[in-house]
Structures are given as structure tokens and as C-alpha cells.
Amino acid sequence: MEDSVDRPSALDIVRTRSLASLVSQEIEAMILDGRLPAGERLNEQQLALRLGVSRGPVREAVRGLERSGLVVSVRNQGSYVRSVSAAEALEIYDLRAALTGFACARLAGTATPAQRAELEALVLRMEAAREADAAPAYYAANLEFHAALLTHGGGPRGLRIYEDLGNELHLFRRRALVEPENMRESNAEHAAILAAITAGDAAAARVAGEAHIAGGKRRFQATDASRPAMPGAVEPVVTARRRRRAG
Amino acid sequence: MEDSVDRPSALDIVRTRSLASLVSQEIEAMILDGRLPAGERLNEQQLALRLGVSRGPVREAVRGLERSGLVVSVRNQGSYVRSVSAAEALEIYDLRAALTGFACARLAGTATPAQRAELEALVLRMEAAREADAAPAYYAANLEFHAALLTHGGGPRGLRIYEDLGNELHLFRRRALVEPENMRESNAEHAAILAAITAGDAAAARVAGEAHIAGGKRRFQATDASRPAMPGAVEPVVTARRRRRAG
DNA sequence: CAACTGCAACCTGTCAACAGTTTGCCGATA
DNA sequence: TATCGGCAAACTGTTGACAGGTTGCAGTTG
């Protein structure tokens, strides 16, 4: 993400993006970083007041988030941050594996030298982060690596689907545990993917890509993350009583 | 889909679904059946008047459709039905192939006897439709077959992603040409998928599933569909003048 | 004492109206 | 005649307000 290329001024932002899209972006961020935990009720008035807008844009934003799978809505009752079960999380891993394998296979045949160099640089960055035991840096580079994989190999649609699935995964567990041993294993898999792509071996790249996500799934299951974050966080039902004034 | 199990009365519909969701459903239908062609401008007032509601629900519905990829919006200019290029259509086919292959592979290991019977019945229905040269019946059964594949093998998420991609495909070409020869080839591939699933051979099922979508892509390319439906239908840009009162 | 009923507050769903921007047209001018 | 500037209409973005439904509590009754 280059900030120096285009820095949209506040005026440009207001001029090109509607309030609803900004509100959507903000609510999505609030959900992903945990300010709005899974199962939480979204109070339109409260959100509108907090963001300094009216309820209209908030409602539009929530409707978009509902389509993307982050929110569920019940008529006359409200919208809730989605709760993702452990079984669903595993399903999401499988879908991501299929998508990643597809992107890797395709990239093996179509990768340009620049794309290969980009991926290699990211692997090196992750290796450096691992040696420095810098989990946040590794985490960021890992995200970039996978985004590059999907962008170049899966196109904009593949990337968007992948990211939506990732967002749903965040709903279950805010952040994957990044342990030193995991970083080593994970980046070895990254290197395998890159090697297969560089070799132009589509089948091997696909296997490597799928194996990497499967490895992530396995590492995820190995942690205590298979238990839901909130034991009582179930899907909203009509008979469920909504709690009053949580804040 | 059984209609006898749950038949939501008009009152239940009004009571459980919000106007925005109904409007979204209606606009989506209008887009998919061609009443709103690709590139068409969506006039909020006009749509609201036509559907007998206010602009609020229409805006919410459009925002949801935007997330699902059927509509693009430009601030202060309006929303347009997405235009999908030929290259994008081919990309969508590839993604669908990956998803279908994934679902088939999984189904090879997890399919219940009832699910196998359901798939087999659909193959037989398609065979009968093919012999009767009943393209619409074949088309409908084909949709059911793929939906069953994705539902049982890819879960609700897989199905939704698959259907969203299918909707985007409809934007490019309203309806795939179903010719007798295509039906024969297509259903032979269906049978191959079913055989691999029944045999429990995940690898073969995956290959068969991917090959089927690839075959569909090939049959699609063989038609004149690779040319865009509307030569002048380009993406909306800021400088584009919107035409006045099309109705 | 438990269960049911009525009530009041809150919140969502929907609508109508206002402000700002874009757009196409018309006239003025070189 | 072609081009530029201004102007009015239309449409979107946003807001505030009203109606209907739900929720939780309090009172009542068996």
C-alpha cells in the first residue's frame, strides 16, 4: 500500500465517497478489531450519533455489511454482528484452501517476473520478521503475501471472496495466534508455493497452496481457538431478549 | 424446493421481511431477467414509484446489490447495472470451476445415500429432458444439480459465492445457449461427476467437476457470446453523460 | 408464589422534505 | 459558426419526523 502515490485529501474523500460507504468502512473496522464483538447488537441511533451522521447512511452501510456476511438482521429487532461457529470456521478454511490453490495454480502459468519478485520479497520479509521474532511484522507481510497471491492469480473477484472469508474468520477468533514455531512452518510453506510458481508447475503450486491453508487450519485447531470466544454468543432468534443499554 | 412444507402467507412475508429485502429481491430479479440490462442506470425515484415504496428501502436494496457485485454506484451520479466484460466472464468460469471441483471432491467423501439419490434423480431428469428436447426443463434441473452439489459439498457459503458468480455471469449473457449437442455433452459430464462421487474417489470427482465447468466455459466460448451484448455498454465514468428519461 | 396481562419506553421501518451536485440546454460572444 | 458561460431542471445525499412493533417491568390474579 503506497501512501505517497495518492493521498486523497479530506475534501476529495467527501467529494468522491458517500457517507454510507465511509460508515460501512468504519463499522467493518469496528467489527474486525473487536470494538463490536460477535453477537453484539448494532444500535442504529447510537452508531449514527457516534459517527456524527444520520440513521440513513448507517442503515445503508449495515445492509451492505449484511450482504458481505459480517452482520445478520432481523426485522423489527435489529442487526447483530455475525457469530461464526467452530464448524463454520473450519468450512471457511476449506474454501480458502480451494481458492488459494486455484490462484497458485494459475499463477504458476501466468506469473510475470515482477510478480515473482514481489512474492519473493515478501517471503524474505517474513523470514526476517521470523528471525527477529516480530510477530506483527510477520502477520502484516503474511497478509500481503496472500493478497498478492489472490490478486495476481485469482483476479479481483477471487481476492474479494478470499478477503470476505477472512473477515468472517476474524469474527470467530479475532487474531490467529502467531507463535515462532508456526512462523517457521508457515513461511516454509510460503517458500514451497513460490518455488512451485517459479518452476511453472501448476499442479505442485496448487498442492502447495492448499497445503498451506490446510496447515493454517491445523495450526488453528491446535490452539484453544476451537472453542467459541463467547460461550453464550448464539445466533439471534426472535425469542431472544435483547439486553438493555450495554454502554 | 418444497412448496408444501412452508408456504409463507402474504402476511408472514410482510411480518418477517423488510421492504428493503423485498425490493432487493425484486431489483435482482429485474436485472437477471433482463428488464434492467447491463449498463442501465437505476433511477431511485422511478424505482420507488414503480415498486410503490419510498426511496429509503430502494437505496438500502441498491447498497446490498452493490456489495453482491450486481451494481456499481458513483456518488452524485447514480447506480448502474454492472457490465461484465468477456474476459471477466471467463475469469468467473474459472472461479466456478475451482469451487465446483472443491465441492465435488468433498462430496465424494461425505455424501449421504440420500444426497447421492438426489443427484442421481436430477441426472435422470436432465436425461429425460434432453431426450424430450426440453431445454427449459434441462436448464432448471441443471441449476438444481449444481445447487445441490454446492449445498452439500461447499456449504452455505460455497453455495452463495457460486450463485453470486452465476449472477454476474448472467450480466454478460442473459442465458447460456442450450443446444441438443450441448445437453448431451453436459449431462455426460454430470454423470461422470456423480459416478466419481458415488465411487468415493475425491480426486476424480474434483477433476470431473472442474472439467464440467471448463466444458461449460468452452461451450460458452464456442457461441457468439464472447462478444458483449451491448457494444457501447462500458463502465460508468464521471465524464459520461447520463441519458435523460429513458422511459 | 407463579403466571399472566397491561403499560411505557425504546427502537426499527418507512416516509416526506431539504440541500448540494450534476447535467443538458440556451444564449452570448469571438 | 463554434465555443464558452450561465441557468434551470432533475436527481442524489442526507436529514428529521412519524408509525408500528418489540421489550422489559410492574401490577394483578389464580
Q: What is the pLDDT of residues A132-155, one digit of tens each?
A: 999 899 999 999 999 999 999 999
Answer whether A27's CB lies under 8 Å from A40's CB. no
Q: Which residues of chain B have pLDDT under 70?
A: 1-15, 174-178, 224-247
> How many other C-beta atoms are found inside a 10 Å radius of the C-beta of residue B141?
23
Closest among B119, B126, B121 to B197, alpha carbons compared: B119
Q: Cell numbers 460508515 correspond to what residue?
A: A23
What is the distance between the alpha carbons of residues B149 and B170, in angstroms, rounded to a whole number? Answer: 20
What is the distance between the alpha carbons of residues A28 and A31, in angstroms, rounded to a whole number? Answer: 5
N residues, chain A = 247
Q: What is the pLDDT of residue A137?
A: 93
Query: Where in chain A do CATH 1.20.120.530 domains reside?
Result: 86-226
Q: Count of alpha carbons within 13 Å of B95, Cβ hemisphere only?
A: 31
**Measured between CB atoms, which of B17, B61, B155 is closest to A75?**
B17
Query: Where in chain B do CATH 1.10.10.10 domains reside?
Result: 10-81
* Contact status of B236 with chain A (Cβ, < 8 Å): no
Give A223 CA → C12 C1' in Å. 40
Please report the residues numbered 147 through 186 in chain A whose beta carbons come closer than 8 angstroms to any beta carbon of chain B: 154-155, 157-158, 161, 165, 168
Nucleotide nearest A17, CA–C1', reads D13
What is the distance between the alpha carbons of residues B111 and A85, in angstroms, rounded to a whole number? Answer: 22
Assigned fold of B86-226? Four Helix Bundle (Hemerythrin (Met), subunit A) (1.20.120)
Q: Count of alpha carbons within 13 Å of A38, Cβ hemisphere only?
A: 21
What is the distance between the alpha carbons of residues B120 and B193, in angstroms, rounded to a whole number? Answer: 10
Closest among A204, A184, A183 to A195, alpha carbons compared: A204
The residues, any chain, with a CB within 8 Å of residue A176's CB and separated by 6 or more, are A216, A219, A220, A225
| Residue A244 contacts strand D, CB under 7 A | yes
What is the distance between the alpha carbons of residues A29 and A27, in angstroms, rounded to a whole number? Answer: 5
Q: What is the pLDDT of residue B152?
A: 97
> How many other C-beta atoms are found inside a 10 Å radius of the C-beta of residue A196?
22
Q: Grid coordinates standing for B70?
A: 450486481
Closest among A148, A96, A97 to A121, alpha carbons compared: A148
Nucleotide nearest B245, CA–C1', reads D10
Q: How many CB pairs under 8 A join A and B?
A: 77
3-class state of residue B219 by DSSP: helix
Does the domain at residues B10-81 carry the CATH identifier 3.30.360.10?
no
Q: Which residues of chain A have pLDDT under 70?
A: 1-15, 174-178, 224-247
Q: What is the pLDDT of residue A181?
A: 81
Cα-based distances in Å from A37 to A229, B23, B131, B170, B191: 9, 30, 55, 37, 46
Q: What is the pLDDT of residue B222?
A: 83
* Contact status of A99 with chain B (Cβ, < 8 Å): yes
**Chain A: residue whose CA lies nearest to B78:** A18
